[in-house]
């Protein structure tokens, strides 16, 4: 795998109706235990008048007529930096922490949260690639944009792979649903395409303690943080609006992030 930005392909762009006798997108109906060299997990294909599809990998079997859920919980939990970085730097060294051996660019299309340790001015970046590392060792990740604030030893980070790396048929009301597989997936570690309702729009937003367990959808609080939909529609709650903010994709108040899909 090579380092690079998340790819979005728009097939038949401008929505022209083609005269083909067969589709140009047979590949979205395929599964394979080998990664397609053209796509990385999290890459998106848009087919006008057909749908939006995300390149995914299974954590278990996926039934094609039921929603697949995100099972991913993160790669590196909250860990303080030991190597500093300057404003303008496009890479950071993720400190040593418990993790499996890491292949080069395995975290491509993943995310890193960089917390300054004292304020909520979080630097949230997509990962373009990473250096390989032995299990539990520190490693460098390359960012989709420069740091706008310095990283100090008071700063900390959380890291996750793209969450489409671990989907399975829905089994839990506490796990967010990703979309629907285009075809049956019979086992774990199979690459396939998952149809989604909208383009991914990943974000970081401060969660209140209520954003956990089955509270996956969220409404905006008065201060721009996230609270539950239940509190949003409760006329007795003085702080939470009825405006839907989006939903959690991975993590929660107590875990990483959360990684959040903006509505």
β-bridge partners, 133: 102
Cβ 221 vs Cβ 241: under 8 Å: yes
| Nearer Cβ to other proteins (128/211) | 211
Q: Least Å distance between CB 93 and other proteins?
A: 18
Alpha-carbon distance of 125 to 91, in angstroms, equals 10
β-bridge partners, 130: 141
The residues binding other proteins (CB under 8 A) are: 77-80, 115, 117-120, 156, 158, 206, 208-210, 221, 223-225, 227, 236-239, 254-255
| Nearer Cβ to other proteins (34/118) | 118
Burial class, 107, CB count within 10 angstroms (exposed 0-12 / middle 13-18 / buried 19+): buried
Measured in degrees and rounded to the nearest 5, phi and psi for residue 220 equal -75, 135
Alpha-carbon distance of 81 to 241, in angstroms, equals 36
Measured in degrees and rounded to the nearest 5, phi and psi for residue 158 equal -130, 150
| Nearer Cβ to other proteins (12/225) | 225
| Nearer Cβ to other proteins (132/243) | 243
Q: Least Å distance between CB 238 and other proteins?
A: 4
Q: Least Å distance between CB 82 and other proteins?
A: 15
Q: Least Å distance between CB 120 and other proteins?
A: 4
Output the six-digit token pair for 86.
């300057």
Q: Least Å distance between CB 25 and other proteins?
A: 42
| Nearer Cβ to other proteins (192/204) | 204
Measured in degrees and rounded to the nearest 5, phi and psi for residue 141 equal -115, 145
| Nearer Cβ to other proteins (31/237) | 237
Q: Least Å distance between CB 256 and other proteins?
A: 9
Alpha-carbon distance of 92 to 119, in angstroms, equals 20
Alpha-carbon distance of 83 to 178, in angstroms, equals 35
């Amino acid at each position: 795998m090579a380092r690079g930005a998340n790819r979005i392909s728009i097939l038949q762009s401008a929505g022209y109706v083609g005269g083909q006798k067969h589709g140009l997108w047979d590949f979205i109906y395929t599964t394979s235990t080998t990664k397609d060299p053209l796509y990385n997990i999290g890459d998106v294909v848009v087919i006008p008048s057909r749908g939006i599809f995300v390149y995914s990998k299974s954590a278990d079997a996926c039934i094609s007529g039921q929603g697949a859920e995100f099972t991913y919980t993160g790669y590196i939990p909250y860990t303080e930096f030991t190597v500093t970085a300057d404003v303008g730097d496009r890479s950071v060294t993720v400190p040593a922490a418990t993790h499996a051996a890491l292949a080069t660019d395995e975290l491509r299309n993943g995310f890193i949260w960089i917390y300054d340790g004292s304020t909520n001015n979080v630097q949230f970046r997509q990962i373009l690639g990473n250096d390989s590392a032995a299990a539990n060792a520190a490693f460098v990740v390359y960012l989709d944009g420069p740091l706008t604030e310095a990283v100090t030893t008071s700063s900390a980070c959380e890291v996750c792979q793209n969450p489409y790396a671990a989907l399975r048929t829905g089994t839990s009301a506490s796990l967010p649903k990703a979309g629907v597989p285009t075809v049956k997936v019979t086992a774990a570690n199979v690459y396939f395409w998952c149809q989604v309702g909208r383009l991914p729009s990943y974000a970081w937003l401060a969660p209140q303690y209520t954003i956990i367990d089955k509270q996956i959808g969220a409404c905006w609080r008065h201060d721009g943080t996230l609270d539950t939909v239940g509190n949003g529609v409760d006329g007795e709650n003085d702080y939470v609006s009825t405006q839907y903010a989006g939903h959690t994709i991975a993590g929660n108040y107590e875990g990483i992030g959360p990684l959040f899909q903006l509505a």
